[in-house]
Amino acid sequence: MLLIAFLFTAVVAKLVYVGIVNADNLRVKALEQWYRDVPLKAERGEILDRNGTVLAASETRYTLYARPVSIKNKQQAASILSEILELDYEKLYEKLNSRSSEITLKRGADKETMLRIVDSGTEGIYVSEDIVRVYPYGDFMTQVLGFTNTDTDGQTGIESYYNAYLKGNDGYVLTGADLVGRELEDGETYYVEGTRGADVYLSLDYHIQSIVENAVERAMLTHSAKAVAAIVMNCNTGEILALAESPSFDLNNVPRDDVQALLEAARPKIVSDVFEPGSTFKIITSALAIEAGLVNDKKSYYCSGSMSVDGQKIRCWRAIGHGSQTFAEGVKNSCNCVFMSAALELGAERFYEGISAFGLTKKTGIDMSGEGSGLIIPLASVKNVDLARIGFGQAVAVTPIGLLAASAAAINGGYKITPSLVAKIENESGILFSAGAGKGERILSESTSATLRAMLETVVLEGSGKNAAVEGIRVGGKTGTAQKYENGQIARGKYISTFIGFAPAEDPEYITLFMVDEPVGAYYGGVVAAPYVGEIYTNMFAYLQ
Amino acid sequence: MFRPVFADACSEPNVTMSVARTAKRLRLMVLIPTLILSAFGMLMIYSASSYSAELDYGDSLFYVKKQLLGFLPGLAAMYGIYKIKPEFLKKISPAALVISLALLAAVFIPGLGQTSYGATRWINLGFITFQPSEIAKFALMLFLARIYSTYPPVKLKYLLLPLSAVVAVLALIMLEPNMSITLSVAAAAFLLTFAAGLNKKYIFAVVALVAVLLPVLILSEPYRIRRMLAFLDPWANPRAEGYQLIQSYYALGSGGFFGVGLFNSRQKYLFLPFAESDFIFSVIGEELGVIGCIAVLAVYAVMIFAGIKIALANTDAFRRLAAFGITAVIAVQTLLNVAVVTGAVPPTGVPLPYVSAGGTSLIVFMCASAALMRLGKPD
């Protein structure tokens, strides 16, 4: 009797411990399992151009589910649903009779379809809202904007880089449910509000982008090119006004079947890939030679059509040579011999120091994922023959954006800039981010920059860049015709034709890079790329006024 | 220890009157708790199982109806047992034990035995399934009472027959396997043997034997080791071995002192396994709180107290021991169930007498109550 009384007391003691002493702790844990939380997707912020033109927006679409257990008349439900949703009646009927607790009827239905089904009074239908991404201009600014996955999480471009701002905070619906997540009939439901994502304003301009996209598309067709890319940037602030690449695709209909091809087309090659720049690199060599005081009007250089360095004969593009010329004439003629001499005069250390000061061996820091950085032979192992080649843009690899940023610094008075795509990010509570666009560290003197500008203007006025000339606007620039390498060998007949041009030449504001990859037929940058830069400036200045 | 102390006092008429009144009161202290617990059981079964029954069988009253099918025949059986003289029980007890053993063995006959949750504990006769162990435990008690009434367990040779009966029953139940019922029958048999005057040195021997055997039994089955560990820290493995206990804790914890109110359990929405049977006490705790649990335990305590009083009031050794044995089974099983639910001992499946869903269990315990009442009725 005593024993039994003792045991009763013992179990009551344990009961009191569990049910009273430890109760709060247990209750909290129990609450977690009693509610099913369904996220309420926050509305994703918009992407707009600098003037507020919407480039990417969100629309609500609906996902329709059915819970077979709650549908009594399955035949009727199957016939109504298959008609409205254009589904196969037999398959749907079979699904409605399956043992699964929930089946997905349709994703991405529009509001009208959703309402028709709800109004049909079919039982056991559940609707969830989804937010889908819509790009009003389709195949436009494709690599810049990027796209999202089905959960509207950014995967490429701005959508990915600024995903944290764009996505907002999801809300939740907490619904009382049983062990397997079935909603309870009299279960309580709690809503936790989410917050809308912030809007991202680009520095890009819809109109300028249209002009550039247009030029890129035409260059693509005219030259049967493998790829064409162009970028327009404010050369004083680094703000990008347009960035277009072809081939591309419609952002509203992302071709996801071939992932490899999709990633290739979605990648902004202007930012991610390196190429051997060829003559456009002469802008950099010139700037460094002028800054080093190696250039004056009296000094003359002789081009016989080739030059011997360390016993190796390196050819100028003009087999018969340019004869005797000043440095400025060498720039205008794009004479390789002049730039070989300049590079050798600078010497490896000074030249490398300058290249590094221009940031060509590093990333520019543009606000885009996957930026590449330039490659150069290590200083310790660079030979004179390499140095001579680097002087005119061979034996060195840079990203197009890196080359453009360096060129901008060379002609803007000597200030480094950081290319940027986003101007500001804003939500209901205010501005979250504002690009501190402006000049960076000074790497060249104003006089060097001015001298270079004058030289580059003659390229357009009298030299290889004539096709970039614009009526009424002074344009300066440099052509480039780079050979392509395949597996370490020069690929015959494969070129990248480029032109870098800035305007107005007297006080530059804009700098543009235009690249045509593997044009068929003509391949000189001055013929293939320069005309499009001229055209872009013509239309752009017309729009700006 | 339990000597017939007031055997001589029965000659006085006024004392007889008071004895009769006391006896009646004791019988009511068995009857009323039996009815209260059985009826309360059906209410709680409804609360605990209406959701799962609706899902599984399309009838929220499924388990309640089944329980009612045990309760109504149970009332008739109670009446019948109450009319039987205890001496008849004594007479048939060897036969009852033999039949019980046969039934326990029959569980293993394919087509007759039914296996659920990895154990073969049920006999399926098509229209009814029942657990022979429910009957066997009471048959064993009556048989032991009969033997001890003639040969008290004071000598080792007197212990041979009862001990072999106990071992036979335990072994067959253990083979099912059913550790929890084995343990509760063993404990009840021990209590009865002890009450019958077991020599002190044997008590120590038995305690020592249990101390040795229990770890062996536990270690012999991997699932028991896991349950042991789960009992010590259920959160180490919350989705497997620790699951039942955690869910039971959640139920008791969310119930707190006053409970969340009748029918308001959240744990019964499939979170708590066996909510209507082995873990019904968790649902009672969630809905009616610790206070409700204590009230329920108090009802059991009244019945057990009355059972012990009835045993003590009997001068006949068989009657005294039979009453004690029956009471021991009720007490042990109640304690074991509550101890499991509150995590005081490792989880093991044992129904709460009178309350848990289970037709045979209910009928057998109702019969036990009736037998106890009859034993409390002076001739």
Whether A330 and A344 map to the same domain: the answer is yes
* Residues of chain B neighbouring A12 (CB-CB closer than 8 A): 294, 297
Mean model confidence pLDDT for chain A: 90
Q: What is the pLDDT of residue B379?
A: 77
Q: What is the pLDDT of residue B213?
A: 81
Q: What is the pLDDT of residue B4?
A: 42
CA distance A154 to A157: 8
Q: What is the pLDDT of residue B10?
A: 46
- H helix intervals, chain B: 13-57, 62-83, 86-106, 132-150, 156-175, 179-195, 200-220, 222-232, 243-255, 280-313, 317-341, 359-375
Which domain-ending residue is among A187, A202, A217?
Answer: A202
Q: What is the pLDDT of residue B3?
A: 44
CA distance A65 to chain B (A): 21
Whether A188 and A217 map to the same domain: the answer is no
Q: Is residue A470 part of a domain?
A: yes
Model pLDDT for residues A449-477, shown as the tens digit of each residue: 999 999 999 999 998 889 999 989 999 99
Whether B172 and B106 map to the same domain: the answer is yes
Choose between A201 and A483: higher pLDDT: A201
Q: Is residue A98 part of a domain?
A: no
Model pLDDT for residues A126-139, shown as the tens digit of each residue: 888 777 889 999 99
Residue A229 pLDDT greater than 50, yes or no = yes
CA distance A173 to A183: 12
Q: Which of A1, A4, A28, A33 to mutate to test the interface with B (most CBs of B within 10 A)?
A: A4
Cis peptide before A68 (omega within 30 of 0): no
Whether B176 and B254 map to the same domain: the answer is no
**Beta carbons of B285 and A15 less than 8 Å apart:** yes
**Beta carbons of A12 and B335 less than 8 Å apart:** no
Assess B183–A contact: CB distance below 8 Å, yes or no: no
Q: Is residue A177 part of a domain?
A: yes
Whether A212 and A253 map to the same domain: the answer is yes
Handedness of CA A515, A521, A527, A532 (dihedral sign): negative
Whether A211 and A288 map to the same domain: the answer is yes
Q: Which of B250, B270, B272, B333 to mutate to test the interface with A (most CBs of A within 10 A)?
A: B250
Whether A179 and A295 map to the same domain: the answer is no
Q: Is residue B303 part of a domain?
A: yes
Whether A406 and A383 map to the same domain: the answer is yes
Residue A7 pLDDT greater than 90, yes or no = no
CA distance A16 to B186: 28
Interface of A with B (CB under 8 A): 1, 4, 7-8, 10-12, 14-20, 22-27, 29-31, 33-34, 176-180, 184
Nearest chain B residue to A18, by CA: B253
CA distance B289 to chain A (A): 7
* Residues of chain A neighbouring B293 (CB-CB closer than 8 A): 15, 19
Got the DSSP string for A331-351? HHHT-HHHHHHHHHHHHHHHH
Q: Is residue B368 part of a domain?
A: no
CA distance B165 to chain A (A): 25
Whether B267 and B325 map to the same domain: the answer is yes
Sheet holding A35-40, edge to edge: A35-40, A171-176, A189-192
* Residues of chain B neighbouring A16 (CB-CB closer than 8 A): 290
Identify the domain containing residue A255 by its residue range: 206-544
Q: What is the pLDDT of residue A435?
A: 81
Which domain-ending residue is among A202, A233, A251?
Answer: A202
Cα–Cα distances (Å) from B156 to A96, A199, A290, in that order, read 71, 92, 119
CA distance A102 to A124: 9
- CB of A163 closer than 8 Å to CB of A47: no
Cα–Cα distances (Å) from B19 to A255, B7, B371, B375, B376, in that order, read 96, 11, 19, 14, 11
Q: What is the pLDDT of residue A107?
A: 82
With tokens 């960035």, the residue in question is A243
CA distance B314 to B316: 6
* Residues of chain A neighbouring B249 (CB-CB closer than 8 A): 18, 22, 26
Whether B174 and B194 map to the same domain: the answer is yes
Choose between A46 and A436: higher pLDDT: A46
* Residues of chain A neighbouring B338 (CB-CB closer than 8 A): 11, 15
Structural element, H or E, at residue B350: none
**Beta carbons of B269 and A184 less than 8 Å apart:** yes
Q: Which pTM was predicted?
A: 0.64
Considering its fold, how many domains does chain B have in total?
Answer: 2
Q: Quick count: other Cβ atoms within 10 Å of Cβ B106?
A: 12
* Residues of chain B neighbouring A27 (CB-CB closer than 8 A): 250, 253-254, 256
Whether A196 and A326 map to the same domain: the answer is no
Whether B145 and B169 map to the same domain: the answer is yes
CA distance B248 to chain A (A): 10
A125: CATH: 3.90.1310.10
Q: Is residue A211 part of a domain?
A: yes
Model pLDDT for residues A335-382, shown as the tens digit of each residue: 999 999 999 999 999 999 999 999 999 999 999 989 999 999 999 999
Residues of A designated as active site: 279
Q: Which B residues in the span 196-215 are in contact with A, Cβ-Cβ below 8 Å?
A: none
Q: Is residue B268 part of a domain?
A: yes
CA distance A6 to chain B (A): 11
Q: Which two tokens stand for residue A504?
A: 């107005």
Whether B112 and B50 map to the same domain: the answer is no
Assess B243–A contact: CB distance below 8 Å, yes or no: no
* Residues of chain B neighbouring A22 (CB-CB closer than 8 A): 249, 253
Q: What is the pLDDT of residue B15?
A: 62
Assess B343–A contact: CB distance below 8 Å, yes or no: yes
Q: Which of A3, A6, A8 to mutate to test the interface with B (most CBs of B within 10 A)?
A: A8
Whether B246 and B141 map to the same domain: the answer is no
Nearest chain B residue to A15, by CA: B342
Assess B51–A contact: CB distance below 8 Å, yes or no: yes
Q: What is the pLDDT of residue B243?
A: 87
Considering its fold, how many domains does chain A have in total?
Answer: 2
Q: Quick count: other Cβ atoms within 10 Å of Cβ B152?
A: 17
Identify the domain containing residue B147 by its residue range: 89-220
Whether A454 and A532 map to the same domain: the answer is yes
- CB of A49 closer than 8 Å to CB of A206: yes
Whether B135 and B210 map to the same domain: the answer is yes
CA distance B279 to B272: 8
Whether B54 and B79 map to the same domain: the answer is yes
Q: What is the pLDDT of residue B5?
A: 41
Cα–Cα distances (Å) from B139 to A541, B133, B326, in that order, read 107, 10, 10
CA distance A394 to A381: 16
Q: What is the pLDDT of residue B347?
A: 77
- CB of B365 closer than 8 Å to CB of B330: yes
Pair type for strands A47-48 and A54-66: antiparallel
pLDDT > 70 fraction of chain A, expressed in percent and rounded: 99
Which domain-ending residue is among A179, A202, A225?
Answer: A202
Q: What is the pLDDT of residue B2?
A: 45
Whether A377 and A494 map to the same domain: the answer is yes
**Beta carbons of A178 and B301 less than 8 Å apart:** no
CA distance A381 to A367: 33
Whether A162 and A231 map to the same domain: the answer is no
Tell me if residue B115 falls in helix, strand or coil: strand
Identify the weakest region by mean pLDDT among A329-333, A491-495, A526-530, B230-234.
Answer: B230-234
Kindly provide the b/e burial profile for residues A420-454, where b requires at least 16 CB atoms within 10 angstroms of the residue's own CB: bbbbbbbeeeeeebebeeebeeebbeeebbbbbbe
| One-letter amino acid of B100 | S
Whether A58 and A84 map to the same domain: the answer is yes
Model pLDDT for residues A377-433, shown as the tens digit of each residue: 999 999 999 999 999 999 999 999 999 999 999 999 999 999 999 999 999 888 888
**Beta carbons of B271 and A24 less than 8 Å apart:** no
Got the DSSP string for A90-158? HHHHHHHTSS-S-EEEEEEE-HHHHHHHHHTT-TTEEEEEEEEEE-TTSSSSHHHH--B-TT--B-SHH
Whether B103 and B215 map to the same domain: the answer is yes
Whether B47 and B94 map to the same domain: the answer is no
* Residues of chain B neighbouring A30 (CB-CB closer than 8 A): 250-251, 253-254, 266-267
Give the model's confidence band at A447: pLDDT under 50 very low, under 70 low, under 90 confident, else very high. very high
Nearest chain B residue to A69, by CA: B55
Q: Is residue A129 part of a domain?
A: yes
Chunked in runs of 10, what are the mean pLDDT values of chain B (379 residues)? 43 65 92 97 95 90 93 96 93 94 88 77 77 91 93 84 91 85 89 85 81 80 73 78 88 92 90 92 95 96 95 92 95 94 84 93 95 91
Model pLDDT for residues A147-205, shown as the tens digit of each residue: 998 778 899 999 999 999 999 888 887 888 888 877 777 767 777 788 889 999 999 99
Whether B78 and B101 map to the same domain: the answer is no
A508: CATH: 3.40.710.10
Assess B254–A contact: CB distance below 8 Å, yes or no: yes
pLDDT > 90 fraction of chain A, expressed in percent and rounded: 58
